[in-house]
Amino acid sequence: MFDCIVIGSGPSGISAAIYLKRFGLDVLVIGKDYGTLSINTKIENYYGIESIDGVDLIKKGILQASNLGISVLEEEVVKIEMSDSFVVGTSINSYNAKTIFIATGMKRNSLNIKGLKELEGSGVSYCAVCDGFLYRKKRIGIIGSGDYMLSELEVLRRFSNDLVVFTNGEEVFDINEFKVIDKVISINKENDLIKVNTSSKSYEVNCLFVAAGMANGTSFARHLGLLTDEVGHLIVNDYMTNIPGIFAGGDAIGGVKQIVKAASDGCVAAYKIKDYIKGL
């Protein structure tokens, strides 16, 4: 079991991991992509660096962590579960830890689908664990195409055999459920049914679960009951969320969207995590 699993391999996550390692703690970093820094071609406002590509900066941080003996896995975290410890599930494996530091940023899994926002909480859900039971033995739709969708689909299989997967234009293999590859254009509600309108046809389901893109801080909040503000930032007190042992920092908790702030969050959160573990 790890002392801490850091979710996110950006400046906040890697900074936390480096400090935790220097405190003598056993830490694991799991990160699938480079987040928003991958689209910032040049960074010219970070202390001591005149100009650097965003991806290069991320790679330097990961290399620094690896050189300290920190395991940095390139896997996609799809769920966090709580038992005697925290269990972090990826698309490949699962890992146990005493604490978790969420540093996934605020990369949004946005879907430009007309009517989606309006039906949230009224047939549209973002949490299979939370709401799947409400639609047991009903016709359930799910939209998405990656590992996060497959993880949510696995949960929904417990509640219904009548499942429709809307891949929104992407191909998905190795699933037995009815699959709709056409782009989803809009959704609306008619007679308590959700009508999913694609580029070629309309389909009726009792509910629609959204699992597009990758799981992030907001996704974990929906599953675990973590408190968020009105725009989805995780609410923390001394970097700890409302669930003891789960910490967060960087863009996931809001504030100035700058690398220097994210790195600072990782540093300070590491001290908080160290003190928390000492008290266990």
Q: Parse the chain into domains and list their residue ranges.
A: 2-108+215-278, 117-210
pLDDT at site 41: 66
Task: Kindly report the number of other CB atoms within 10 A of residue 170's CB atom.
Answer: 13
What secondary structure, in 3-state letters, does 132-181 show? HHHHCCCCEEEECCCHHHHHHHHHHCCCCCCEEEECCCCCCCCCCCEEEC
Q: What is the pLDDT of residue 110?
A: 63
Are domains 2-108+215-278 and 117-210 of this chain identical in fold?
Answer: yes
> Which CATH number describes the domain made up of 117-210?
3.50.50.60
| pLDDT of res. 158 | 96
pTM of the model: 0.88
pLDDT tens for each residue of the chain, 280 residues long:
999 999 999 999 999 999 999 999 999 999 987 766 766 567 888 889 888 888 899 999 999 999 999 999 999 999 999 989 999 999 899 999 999 999 998 765 568 899 998 998 899 999 998 899 999 999 999 999 999 999 999 999 999 999 999 999 999 988 999 999 999 999 999 989 999 999 999 999 999 999 988 888 888 998 999 999 988 899 999 999 999 999 999 999 999 989 999 999 999 999 999 999 999 9
Predicted local confidence at residue 29, as pLDDT = 98
Domain 2-108+215-278 adopts which CATH fold? Answer: FAD/NAD(P)-binding domain (3.50.50)
Q: What pLDDT does 208 receive? A: 97
